[in-house]
Amino acid sequence: MDWTPIWHQAAAPAFAMGFLAGKKKTVVYSVTSQASGNKIRVRFSNHYGKKPYTIGGLTVWAHGEMHAVTRGGNRIFTVPVGESCYSDELSLPVTMGEELEIRLYYATKVMDSNMIEENAVSYKGNHTTDTELPPPRRKSYMEQYNLYEVIPGMDQIEVFTSRPSKIIVAFGDSITAMNRWVKPLQKRLFDTYGGSYALMNSGIGGNCLLYDIPGLMGVSYGEKGVSRFERDVLCFPELCGVIFALGVNDVAYYSKKTAATISLEKYSSAVTDIVDRLHKAGVRVIAQTLPPRTGFAKKGYTQQMEELRIRINGWIRDNAMFDDVLDADALLRDQKNPSVTDDRYHQGDHLHPNQAGGMLLAQAYDLQKLTGET
């Protein structure tokens, strides 16, 4: 028996120092368990906070019944400053494939958050124990910019099981964090192998591999990939595979000022080091090429940036060190204008895949090469 993760998000600093998300709000979302077990526990992160924050209630709903999650025996509890901490163990039989509804009420500002669940909804006040939920609360700016509700502080849910899953991690930026290719690929893995494999999402919106983006908004895009790699990838027990999908934001910051940090040479060196470390640990690595981004920002994306993207993609395609390559660029681009994404496959912003684009990527994965199964 051991603990195995069934849901994960990478911690990132909250937008606008935590004030944009507000407080005294309940966030509700669902998780499908990829393992059967008899207990669950939740992990909280406070990497970026300078003081403790308060969880005012956390419940798990299964088969219409509510189960309260505690820490130190208390339903209202604080999360100390530090890397992470766990809730108490909750005795709850969970069946592989079962859907669990998570309701999290945070009573104070939280400095760690991410947004990876498109169907997450929020409500003013504490509704963790309500039998019926009120109408959801969603701001107009979130609709305008295709933003999800943040899930503050919580970064992992685990099940105590006799059959821990082998873990594959999707390590990327917003194209990963938005879950539009990760979730359907997760379902393909489950349909084919049951709970033998679990795909975890370690994407952060705006994230770069090589560059820590300056400014208030830049801080919210998370630490650069080379800095967060150990915490967000190597930390997993039973790690067997990594999908590497970082770099499309790096090229958008390429300029004369950043050339010492962002270049093909710096990118290839960093990726080679990461792949070497993973291979030495017996972990398979599948790389995604960088999709088109022309048109995402109406100003500022230069020909030099596009040329760097093309050079990086050529390096990824031709490199034999990867266990496989998923050519996201070739799949998503407009065949008549390859510097832009096909209008059928983006959400209207010329970069992020819509449901059709996400499904296209998910279906293109060779599951045998991803898992190493023969």
Q: Is residue 270 very low, low, confident or very high in pLDDT (cuts 50, 70, 90)? A: very high
Kindly report which listed range (96-100, 107-111, 207-211) carries the lowest average pLDDT score: 107-111
Whether the Cβ atoms of residue 371 and residue 365 lie closer than 8 Å to each other: no
Q: Given 158, 174, 204, which residue is the final one in a domain?
A: 158
Same domain, 269 and 358: yes
Does the pLDDT at position 17 exceed 90?
no
Q: Given 158, 177, 205, which residue is the final one in a domain?
A: 158
Does the pLDDT at position 145 exceed 80?
no
Does the pLDDT at position 198 exceed 90?
yes
| Predicted pLDDT of residue 21 | 58
Does the pLDDT at position 20 exceed 60?
no
The Cα–Cα gap between 140 and 94 comes to: 37
Tokens describing residue 36: 């059967």
- Mean pLDDT confidence for 366-373: 97
Name the residue among 162, 186, 192 with its Cα closest to residue 93: 162
Does the pLDDT at position 14 exceed 90?
no
If you search the block for the tokens 């603990």, which residue do you land on? Answer: 3
Q: Is residue 16 very low, low, confident or very high in pLDDT (cuts 50, 70, 90)? A: low
Range of the domain at 314: 165-371
Does the pLDDT at position 15 exceed 90?
no
Same domain, 217 and 91: no
Same domain, 195 and 331: yes
Does the pLDDT at position 38 exceed 80?
yes
Phi then psi dihedrals of residue 337, to 5 deg = -145, 80
| Total structural domains within the chain | 2
- From residue 127, alpha-carbon distances to 24, 104, 121, 178 in Å are 10, 9, 12, 25
